[in-house]
Amino acid sequence: MALLDVRDLSISFTGYGRTAQVLHGVSFSIAKGERVSLIGETGSGKSVTSKAIMGTLPENATIEGGRIAFDGLDLLALPPAERERLKGSDMSIIMQDPLSSFNPVFRIGKHLDDILRFADRRIGRPSGAQDRKRRIFETLRRVQLADADRVFDAWPHELSGGMRQRVLIALALLHKPRLLIADEPGTALDVTTQAEILKLINGLVDEEGLSLLMITHNLGVVRQTADRVLVMNKGEIVEQGPLAEVFGAPRDAYTRALMAAVPPLYGDRVENQPVSDAAPVLAMRDVSKVYRSGGIWARGEGHRAVSGVTFDVPEGEIFGIAGESGSGKTTVARMLMGLLDVTEGEVVRAPSSPGRRLTQIVYQNPGTSLNPKRTVAQTLAVPLGHIGMDRAAASARMTELMSLVKLPESYLGKYPHELSGGQKQRVSIARALAAEPKVLILDEPTSALDVSVQKTVIDLLLHLRAELGLTYVIISHDLSLMRNFCSRIAIMLRGEIVEQGTPAEVFAAPSHAYTRALIAAIPVLTEAEEALKPTVTEEERAAFLVPTTTLAEEDA
Amino acid sequence: MRFLSFIEPILARLAGFIMVLLVLSLMIFLLARVVPGDPARMALGPSATQEQVAELRLEMGLDEPILTQYVAYMGRALQGDLGRSITSGRPVLSDIADFLPATLELVLVTVFLMVIIAIPLGVLTARHRDRWIDNSGRLFSLIGVTIPSFLFAIGLQLLAANFFPDWPILGRVDYRLSPPDGPTGLLLIDSIVHGRADVFLDALQHLAFPALALAMSGIGQVTRITRSAMIENQRKDHVLTLRSFGVPDRVIVFRYLLKLSSVAPLTIMGLEFASLIGNAFVVEMVFGWGGFASYGLTAILQKDLNALMAVVLISGLFFIVANLVIDVVLSVIDPRQRRRAAA
């Protein structure tokens, strides 16, 4: 018998006097010990499904029909108290974002203790503080957190993202649940950390014989963690079946489109971007950047964010700077644009047309980089006004820009909230192009977007480069994207470039162990690609990756 | 090490506050001497001769360059000599010692009222968002913010006069009770020390209206800030975490959310202190409080330079000490504040 059985579940949300149906007759089941992945993009209804199972739907949600059976119990018909009793003890959830899932003014241990205390009380076995502490320490060790007592006493901000994610997993395991729901675990973390987290979850599910419902938008993750796959689109399950079947021969058009949108790492679908031998339009010569700490009693060496970075960006190329958080890639981009002064070394810029800037930037999150109170036309008017265009010329240029980024001209009158994520990013690109720069700096231009939208934005950028003869510098942590999009890439680690070359060279024979670790951690879609990935030894990993199992020594 | 990282940001703030006090003292010193009117003439009255005035000017050092006067004043002030008041004829310091406790008592009770009324009200309105409790709570806080405190003061007096004729509306305590002397000058504390329940209750009655009038604007502000902080934090992921694991709602609200949401209102309370001190001047006049404010007002009208300086500096000190206390409380509540200040 299935442990979890969801039948014809329909849910609607009410807000501002309108009702929107978000789930349409969703049916699936999870057997004991089975690992099921629920794939979907933003707004597909995958998180609503998990909240309906857990019983944490917001107040404005209405269950229109259907049933959820857990081990034969009809969850929707259960009295609230009995429903509560299942939480945390029979079914539990691994929260998505480790950085925001702890209350910042309470210690980690307090969260764990309160959750365990109330779960114990609900199942009628009140426990003592010492007993709880012992069980918490045990669970922390099960998620491979080495110094459990220090983690217990730490404030949330004192732990790295990876460690917090481990604690979130520990939270879910405190009561030996039978069903574990994992909501995009690790997506907010660096790729190498994410790989470790997935390995941990897989191991725990195996050891304890748990049933797993993994919710994710990353198909590579699915391949590593699922026996069976559910594909969800606009509140409906469009395809379900065993992993090999769905990935090997997807039947639904949406599934096929999703898979096609994932950039390949190896194989014949990989694209190589041409390398140019033109003169460099931007270059860095042995550049370093030190951030001094401020304050009345400023002292110490400051933080060395970038050291000895040298590279050329020939005109017409797409230069990629790859690295994980804190590697210094954003500092490099800011120095390239002249927004930050260099501490040592030199940034060489080609001359730009009079009155124009050489570089413009496209930011990561179009949702926050566009002013919500300005229409598209008003947003575009700013750079056009800067270069001294009059009203008529600006209006003509706006029409031109809109056709360049393939948006209808009528969108000029729209506000950002009326646009989708992909459309907003198109507006950001139009804004960056408005003053005719020669170089666009792309700061993680697609990481806030769904995969299918990512692909259209990347295609647009490639098209624009060909049409306008632009040069791009892209900063990203997404190596599979960069493999297909860049002419050359540089890998940054702790402020230094450890490897540089064309993507074909770097991916075929990565020379630095860190590069190998990065590539090895990328979730891929096929066994064939998996086999081509480089390997790293444990010693190499330990030398370059931030540990997520122990507390780093306090920075002096 | 832990302790150092805790204390260091506070020392840094303290150094900043001392700078503020110095600048404030210089500004007031200059302003008081630039506005027209001869302090010596005002002290001696219209019947004094020109020679007497000149003699007093010389004695007060008013003919020296202003900066020399300032340096001399600060030199004496640092040794605890704030000079002599020309209206009362006594050292300013002993005047202050007489008048300050009354104001201090009023302000402390006001802050107490603000905390115990505004924060629960903020939580309550946030919990019942957009329902009648919320709507009336918001109306109440809007009234508190918009109506000036002297109107509240007069309104409360009228209320008492019409409906509770026995309720005291002037002064700090019934003069027939012969209140105890010392040690703090705060009647509520002194009466406890001397075991005088009658004085305690009477002083409390006297305090209620002026403190309420003074607290209203702060109550309005802090309620609004608490409400919006609670509502904002309710949507955070960490609330969903606790809810997903079945931690009861009351624990989530009264333990987790309340502590996190008290950071913003506490910060606002520090700022409210500035207007609190200003309003105290007016409210004290309305209720015949006989505190610091009436002393300060006389000093301003009479151009009593030394008294004026002392009043302004002590008001400034009030504000600074209040904010330091709030900084310490905040760094106890929120560990990130320590980290940020030390970084």
pLDDT tens by residue, A198-217: 888 988 888 888 899 999 88
Q: What is the pLDDT of residues A480-507, one digit of tens each?
A: 889 999 999 999 998 899 999 999 999 9
CA atoms of A238 and A216, how far apart (whole Å): 16
B237 touches chain A (CB under 8 A): yes
What was the pLDDT predicted at A299?
54
φ, ψ at B171 (rounded to 5°): 80, 180
What was the pLDDT predicted at A240?
92
Concatenated DSSP letters of B249-266: HHHIIIIIIHHHHTHHHH
Complex confidence, ipTM: 0.78
Higher pLDDT, A429 or A82: A429
CA atoms of A371 and A375, how far apart (whole Å): 8
CA atoms of B257 and A334, how far apart (whole Å): 38
Q: CB-CB: which of A95, A97, A157 is closest to B339?
A: A157
Higher pLDDT, B293 or A544: B293
A291 touches chain B (CB under 8 A): no
What was the pLDDT predicted at B342?
43
What was the pLDDT predicted at A554?
40
For chain B, domain boundaries: 98-303
For residue B314, give the H/E element and its range. helix B305-333
Spell out the alpha helix ranges (H) of B45-91: 50-60, 66-78
C-alpha distance from residue B131 to each of B127, B128, B234 (Å): 9, 6, 17
Residue range B221-237: average pLDDT? 92
Q: What is the pLDDT of residues B250-262, one digit of tens each?
A: 999 999 999 999 9
Q: What is the DSSP letter of A234?
A: T
Structural domains of chain A, ranges and CATH numbers in brackets: 2-261 (3.40.50.300)
What was the pLDDT predicted at A429?
93
What was the pLDDT predicted at A294?
55
- Which CATH superfamily groups domain B98-303? MetI-like (1.10.3720.10)
* Closest listed residue to residue A214, CA positions, set A425, A47, A464: A47
- Chain B residues touching A97 at Cβ < 8 A: 237
- Chain A residues touching B333 at Cβ < 8 A: 105
Nearest CA-CA distance, residue A405 and chain B, Å: 35
In this structure, of A534-538, B240-244, B313-317, the range with the lowest mean pLDDT score is: A534-538
A338: left (phi > 0), else alpha (psi -120 to 50), else beta?
left
Nearby residues of A67 by Cβ (< 8 Å), 6 or more positions away: A6, A7, A8, A9, A74, A75, A76, A77
B131 touches chain A (CB under 8 A): no
Nearest CA-CA distance, residue A218 and chain B, Å: 21
A56 touches chain B (CB under 8 A): yes
CA atoms of B123 and A491, how far apart (whole Å): 50
Q: CB-CB: which of B241, B263, B336 is closest to A95?
A: B241
Q: What is the pLDDT of residues B175-190, one digit of tens each?
A: 777 777 777 778 888 8
Contact A95 B244 (CB under 8 A): yes
Contact A171 B243 (CB under 8 A): no
What was the pLDDT predicted at A301?
63
* Closest listed residue to residue A312, CA positions, set A287, A283, A335: A283
Nearest CA-CA distance, residue A101 and chain B, Å: 4
What was the pLDDT predicted at B278?
85
Nearest CA-CA distance, residue B329 and chain A, Å: 13
- Chain B residues touching A108 at Cβ < 8 A: none
Residue B229 has pLDDT above 90, yes or no: yes
Is residue A367 a contact partner of residue A448, using CB atoms and an 8 Å limit? yes
What was the pLDDT predicted at A318?
92
- Which of A82, A105, A115, A121 should one mutate to test binding to chain B, selecting the residue with the greatest count of B CBs within 10 A? A105
| Crossing angle of the two packed helices B263-286 and B92-127, in degrees rounded to 10 | 130
A189 touches chain B (CB under 8 A): no
Say which residue the tokens 């860049």 belong to.
A486
Residue A531 has pLDDT above 60, yes or no: yes
- Chain A residues touching B263 at Cβ < 8 A: 105
CA atoms of B292 and B95, how far apart (whole Å): 9
pLDDT band, residue A462 (cuts 50/70/90): very high
Q: CB-CB: which of A100, A122, A297 is closest to B246?
A: A122
Contact A101 B256 (CB under 8 A): no
C-alpha distance from residue B105 to each of A51, B195, B217 (Å): 53, 18, 18
- Chain B residues touching A164 at Cβ < 8 A: none
What was the pLDDT predicted at B5?
63
φ, ψ at A181 (rounded to 5°): -105, 125
Residue A556 has pLDDT above 50, yes or no: no
Residue range A18-31: average pLDDT? 90
Nearest chain B residue to A303 by CA: give it. Answer: B343
* Closest listed residue to residue A329, CA positions, set A509, A198, A479: A479
- Chain B residues touching A100 at Cβ < 8 A: 236-238
In this structure, of A291-300, B123-132, B152-161, the range with the lowest mean pLDDT score is: A291-300
Q: What is the pLDDT of residues B209-223, one digit of tens each?
A: 999 999 999 999 999
Tell me the one-letter amino acid at A95: M
CA atoms of B182 and A425, how far apart (whole Å): 71
B260 touches chain A (CB under 8 A): yes
B263 touches chain A (CB under 8 A): yes
What was the pLDDT predicted at A296?
46
Instruction: Put the strands of the sheet holding A280-291 in their side by side order.
Output: A303-314, A280-291, A344-349
CA atoms of A48 and B66, how far apart (whole Å): 73
Nearest chain B residue to A173 by CA: give it. Answer: B245
Q: What percent of chain A has pLDDT over 70?
A: 96
CA atoms of B147 and A445, how far apart (whole Å): 50
Residue range B101-106: average pLDDT? 88
Nearest CA-CA distance, residue A177 and chain B, Å: 11
- Chain A residues touching B242 at Cβ < 8 A: 103, 111, 114-115
Higher pLDDT, A88 or B276: B276
Contact A103 B260 (CB under 8 A): yes
For residue B110, give the H/E element and its range. helix B92-127
Nearest CA-CA distance, residue A54 and chain B, Å: 7
Residue range B290-297: average pLDDT? 83
Q: What percent of chain A has pLDDT over 90?
A: 32
What was the pLDDT predicted at B341?
46
A88 touches chain B (CB under 8 A): yes
Nearest chain A residue to B244 by CA: give it. Answer: A56
Pair type for strands A35-39 and A344-349: unpaired
What was the pLDDT predicted at A546?
63
Q: CB-CB: which of A54, A88, A114 is closest to B251?
A: A114
Residue range A99-108: average pLDDT? 91
What was the pLDDT predicted at B288?
86
Q: What is the pLDDT of residues A167-187, one digit of tens each?
A: 999 999 888 889 999 988 877
Is residue B208 a contact partner of residue B222, using CB atoms and an 8 Å limit? no
CB < 8 Å from A in window 324-343 of B: 333-336, 339, 343
Is residue A214 a contact partner of residue A182, using CB atoms and an 8 Å limit? yes
Contact A92 B335 (CB under 8 A): no
Contact B245 A296 (CB under 8 A): no
Q: What is the DSSP letter of B180?
A: P
To the nearest whole number, what is the mean pLDDT of chain A?
87
CA atoms of B77 and B95, how far apart (whole Å): 15
Higher pLDDT, A127 or A107: A107
φ, ψ at A216 (rounded to 5°): -160, 160
Residue range A378-384: average pLDDT? 90
pLDDT band, residue A369 (cuts 50/70/90): confident
Residue A436 has pLDDT above 90, yes or no: no
φ, ψ at B331 (rounded to 5°): -75, -20
What was the pLDDT predicted at B125?
93
Q: What is the pLDDT of residues A324-354, one digit of tens each?
A: 888 888 899 989 988 888 989 999 888 877 7
Nearby residues of A340 by Cβ (< 8 Å), 6 or more positions away: A289, A331, A334
CA atoms of A121 and B200, how far apart (whole Å): 46
